[in-house]
Structures are given as structure tokens and as C-alpha cells.
């Protein structure tokens, strides 16, 4: 079966702009979790979506938001970009989320803010 697809792979944006990243989970998986990876902070949990509802959110400002569609595809949006938002953004697909079962990650979107 197809894996987890994240688009785009690379993105360069200017400070103050906004950006939208996409994640298509494995077919049949209903949970999508998002993570931010930076050299200084490591892998940090952003939020988790299940059946179009955000169930859990990490400690990030309101500029970070997301949504999930009826086909389980998820998008995350970052508004008013700051230099510190430069990071690798990873999404994970799982059947039911909330730490249950195996998580499978996409290849990530590498965002550079200049």
C-alpha cells in the first residue's frame, strides 16, 4: 500500500508570509499527527487530527494551525512566518492515533524562512 505523502518536499518563504503543508496518510488510517524538527529543539509534537477533529495540541503559538478533510488528508498552516519557523515538518499516519499502534512517517517538508 502507498506510504505517507507529504508535499511539497522543500519550500522557501519570506518572513511574514504564510505557508500550507499537506499530508496524505496511508489508506484506511484516520489519524494524522504533525511534528516540527529543529536542531535546537529536536522533534516536537504540533497537533493530532482524527476524523476531521483536532484532538491534541502541543505547545506552539496560534500561528500554527491545521485541519483534516473527510478523506483523512491533513494540512497544516503557519501564518506570519518567523525565521525560527525554519524546520523539517513531519507528519505521521496511524490507524487511530492517541499513541495506539504503529506510526508511519512521511518524508517531510523542509521549510526555510528567509
Partner 1 sequence: GIQVEQSPPDLILQEGANSTLRCNFSDSVNNLQWFHQNPWGQLINLFYIPSGTKQNGRLSATTVATERYSLLYISSSQTTDSGVYFCAVAPYNNDMRFGAGTRLTVKP
Query: Which residues contribute to the site for partner 1 (CB under 8 A)?
Result: 33, 35, 37, 42-43, 45, 48, 56, 88, 90, 92, 97-108, 110
Q: Describe the strand order of the beta sheet including 5-7 as a list of residue ranges.
A: 5-7, 19-24, 74-78, 64-68
Instruction: Report in angstroms how near the CB of residue 95 gets to partner 1 at its nearest.
Output: 12
Instruction: Report in angstroms how near the CB of residue 16 gets to partner 1 at its nearest.
Output: 26
For 39-54, letters b (16+ CB in 10 Å) and e give eeeeeeebbbbbeeee
Reading the block at residue 8, the C-alpha cell is 511539497
**Cβ closest to partner 1, residue 30 vs residue 110:** 110
Instruction: Report in angstroms how near the CB of residue 7 gets to partner 1 at its nearest.
Output: 14
**Cβ closest to partner 1, residue 26 vs residue 65:** 26
Reading the block at residue 37, the C-alpha cell is 524538527
Residues in the chain: 114
Instruction: Report in angstroms how near the CB of residue 107 gets to partner 1 at its nearest.
Output: 5
Amino acid at each position: 500500500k502507498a506510504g505517507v505523502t507529504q508535499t511539497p518536499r522543500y519550500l522557501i518563504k519570506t518572513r511574514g508570509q504564510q505557508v500550507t503543508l499537506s499530508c496524505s496518510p496511508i489508506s484506511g488510517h484516520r489519524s494524522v499527527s504533525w511534528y516540527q524538527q529543529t536542531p535546537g529543539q529536536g522533534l516536537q509534537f504540533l497537533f493530532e487530527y482524527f476524523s476531521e477533529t483536532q484532538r491534541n495540541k502541543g505547545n506552539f503559538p496560534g500561528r500554527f494551525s491545521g485541519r483534516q478533510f473527510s478523506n483523512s488528508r491533513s494540512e497544516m498552516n503557519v501564518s506570519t512566518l518567523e525565521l525560527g519557523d525554519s524546520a523539517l515538518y513531519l507528519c505521521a499516519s496511524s490507524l487511530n492515533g492517541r499513541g495506539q499502534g504503529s506510526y508511519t512517517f512521511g518524508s517531510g517538508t523542509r521549510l526555510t524562512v528567509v
